[in-house]
Amino acid sequence: MEAAKLAAQLTQHQKNALETIANQMARPGRGLLAADESVPTLGKRLVAAGLVNDEEMRRAYREVLFSHPDLGEYLSGAILFSETLGQRAVKDAEGRLFPALLQSKGVLPGVKVDLGLEPLDYSARETHTKGMNDLMERCQEFYAQGARFAKWRAVIRIDEAANLPTRACMQINSAELARYAAICQACGLVPIVEPEILIEGAHSAETFARVTEAALSEVYYTLAQAKVFLEGTLLKPQMIMPGVDSPSEGRPRPEEAARRTLEALRRRVPPAVPGVVFLSGGQTEEQATQNLNLINQLAKQPASSLRPSSTTCPWILSFSFGRSLQASVLATWDGKDENYEKAMEVAGALAKANAQAQLGEYQGPHPSVLKGQSLHETNRGWGASARVGGGKGESAAGATATVSPSGETAA
């Protein structure tokens, strides 16, 4: 069924429920833990730490992340991988499943519903996201398992020399995000809309801002065309920053990055959206916290000196961090049961620091144990040998679409 038809069938009761969940997620002083790494992605991190990548190790690691008694004071939600929905907390006295454990702390369980990326045939360095074929059935199952929101990651790559991103790539990914959002809402799940702009490359912050605004324009135009209920969604963007290979001289100060980020959101994101939850985007743990803090401090100031009574933004500005809430935890835990309590305290301290940053009240010191280590990873989730369905990919309406080298899309 087309996204607009799905959206048109939402009852007022369903809309009220979705809006309630979205506002529970977008609460002051709280954010989201992104613990939804796939088996291969988490496995690489475990192996790099000298640990085995098996189901029990993954379960034990995630129990460390979810077990701090005060987690609900700092987190409103946690994004899980599908495997994690059915796993139990063995150190919990009741042996509860992870979704029930999180709910007992006031943390809403969510789930990653995309199945990774694959290249577009016409542009092998650009991607679309897999997982649309059976998405309705999987979302219904995830809701039954306790999930109340979902995440789907679309990726936009910048390469000015190669004229990337193409308009067709933005259109395809926006259409998929709209269909995903409509399916999620039909199943009772609040969709997090994630058009991630990759930081790979030598592009400037100005270019990053321009592409961000273009991507957000395309996404919200397409969501509007699909009649997605915006009050029951969240946005997960990247903070505005130059590419990781850009010259170190002349890189913008954090205050300038915060200003550009707010400017892009203010120009392109509808006020109906309850919250914006940022990626940590390969920053160090401390940088991600400091930049979120700056964004929220700036958000309290007037949007323009010509309009001193205006506010910078109508949304809760928070975090949906993955490695910035995890890397120090994994380093501290190291797979050893005797380190469980200490690692759990690190998980709580990282969540608390970012909760303070959401309020613009973070002062430090930061609980990171990594001494400024970069958390950047290249080409996450992209199997470069994959192709889109033998040359055809699903459009937002569920039909097939072919894409020509010129970037034109024909349904």
Q: Which residues are catalytic?
A: 194, 236
H or E element that contains 176: helix 167-186
Separation in Å, CA 89 to CA 148, 158, 217, 337: 19, 41, 42, 14
Strands (E), 30-133: 31-35, 75-80, 108-112, 117-120, 123-129
DSSP 185-208: HHTTPEEEEEEEEP--SS--HHHH
3-state DSSP assignment of residue 141: helix
3-state DSSP assignment of residue 76: strand
Separation in Å, CA 272 to CA 18, 131, 149, 197: 13, 27, 18, 23
Whether a cis peptide bond, with omega within 30° of 0, leads into 302 is no
3-state DSSP assignment of residue 364: coil
DSSP 78-106: EEE-HHHHT-B-TTSTT--BHHHHHHHTT
Residue type, 107: V
H or E element that contains 172: helix 167-186
Residue type, 211: V
Residue 145 CA to residue 152 CA, distance in Å, equals 18
- Backbone φ and ψ of 89, nearest 5°: -90, 105
Give the contacts of 40 (CB within 8 A, at least 6 positions apart): none
